[in-house]
Amino acid sequence: MRRISSSFLFVVLLVTAGVTRVSASDSVAPQLQRFARTEYLMGVDFRIDLYASSEMDAARAFKAAFSRIADLDRCMSNYRADSELSLLCTNTTKNMSTKVSEDLWKVLVYANRISYLSNGAFDVTIGRVTKLWRRARRRKEIPSEQRLAEELEFVGFEKLILNPADQSVMIRTPGLLIDLGAIGKGYAADEAMRILEDLGITRAVVNASGDVRFGAPPPDSTGWPTGIGALSAAGPPILLQSQSQGAVATSGDAFQFLEINGKRYSHILDPRSGMPVQVRSSVSVWAATGMAADALASAVSVLGPRRGLRLVRKLDGVEALVIWDRDGDGTGAMFRSRGFPLEK
């Protein structure tokens, strides 16, 4: 553990934002050029950087990858009344089984696993409590204890029964709302990368507003330059080892929080109590997939550094770095697992 001054961090890909085409360096074979494009999907900016042999190949790859992300938005959004997720929650009666798509099934199965492993610190059934706190941030008022208790009656991962025999979902408590905001972007980044690779574009990276999925490295390189950047303009980024074939996701409350009477309430909620995390923090997780990194970053944010790192150590191929500012003085303690890929 060590103290640092630039406590509140986010994963950044060390590339120039807003670039639509970047010429390859002199050392890169002339048939490969670097291209980048950003689209607003799933409520965030998705940026894809890739190497392709022509602008036409790059355009085709961008179209396919962003189309896949848009499809997943239509499947998993809880803002769209017609999404598969919303229809599952609104049309399901008690003990009624509903067969779901392969995408929704994969995400719910993995979410359920992390819920069990974290003892409920990660729980996608938190949807009604999430909506309650969104309203609180808009109105700048704290929900009443009674209202919070009412909404917590609909929270609990044990209320979702997943049946692998027919890939169906049963909701034990009608009215329950599922929120995939802490796992869906990571899965979408994974799927966008898969689409690119299917098209022969292997040297690429997908950045879902800080949840970053890496493919093969750029030409003549061991990986994509990456850092966890300080939010303070004066603070230097914490550099990571160059990344490829994996994912890094960060969960933190630097941008989204509610402050009332001098007290700060994070947008990160503990599903067990329905209350926001009270400590300012930033959690970065490295994992093989974006879905895993995304979900585990949220779980560790709720568990805190010691219990969170105990969870991480139970999982193969997962590493974490936690910045924990318990005193709220703008400095934080850094905790990390042994294998987290900080630059040496």
**How many CB atoms within 10 Å of residue 157?**
21
At residue 232, the pLDDT reads: 43
**201: in domain:** no
**105: in domain:** yes
CA torsion angle 228 230 235 237 (round to 10)? 10
Looking at residue 139, which CATH number applies to its domain?
1.10.3980.10
The answer for 220, left when phi > 0, alpha when psi is -120 to 50, beta otherwise, is left
Each residue of 30-70: pLDDT tens digit? 589 999 999 999 999 999 999 999 999 999 999 999 999 99
Phi then psi dihedrals of residue 7, to 5 deg: -80, -35
At residue 257, the pLDDT reads: 57
CA angle 290, 188, 47 (to 5 degrees): 90
Overall residue count recorded for the chain in this entry:
344
* Residues 36, 47 contacting (CB under 8 angstroms): yes
* Residues 57, 201 contacting (CB under 8 angstroms): yes
**208: in domain:** no
**283: in domain:** no
**How many CB atoms within 10 Å of residue 164?**
8
**129: in domain:** yes
Q: How far, in Å, CA of 222 to CA of 341, rounded? A: 14
Q: How far, in Å, CA of 176 to CA of 156, rounded? A: 9
Q: How far, in Å, CA of 140 to CA of 158, rounded? A: 32
The answer to whether the Cα torsion of 302, 285, 118, 126 is positive or negative is positive
The answer to whether the Cα torsion of 322, 327, 330, 331 is positive or negative is negative
CA torsion angle 331 326 312 236 (round to 10)? -10
How many domains, in total, are found in the chain?
A: 1
At residue 234, the pLDDT reads: 47
Q: How far, in Å, CA of 185 to CA of 41, rounded? A: 9
Q: Can you list the pairs that 18-27 forms with residues at least 24 positions away whose Cβ atoms lie under 8 Å? A: 21/55, 24/51, 24/219, 25/220, 27/219, 27/220
- The overall average pLDDT reported for the chain is 86
- pLDDT < 50 positions in the chain: 1-12, 15-29, 231-234, 255
At residue 24, the pLDDT reads: 46
At residue 294, the pLDDT reads: 97
pTM comes to: 0.89
Q: How far, in Å, CA of 124 to CA of 182, rounded? A: 8
Alpha helices in the chain (DSSP H): 55-76, 84-91, 102-117, 127-139, 145-152, 184-198, 290-303, 305-313
**213: in domain:** no
At residue 7, the pLDDT reads: 30
Chain centroid offset of residue 59 CA: 26
- In the block, which residue shows the tokens 């670097």? 34
Q: How far, in Å, CA of 306 to CA of 326, rounded? A: 13
Instruction: Residue 121: give the domain boundaries.
Output: 93-171
- In the block, which residue shows the tokens 């193969």? 316
Each residue of 133-144: pLDDT tens digit? 888 888 788 889
At residue 331, the pLDDT reads: 62
**328: in domain:** no
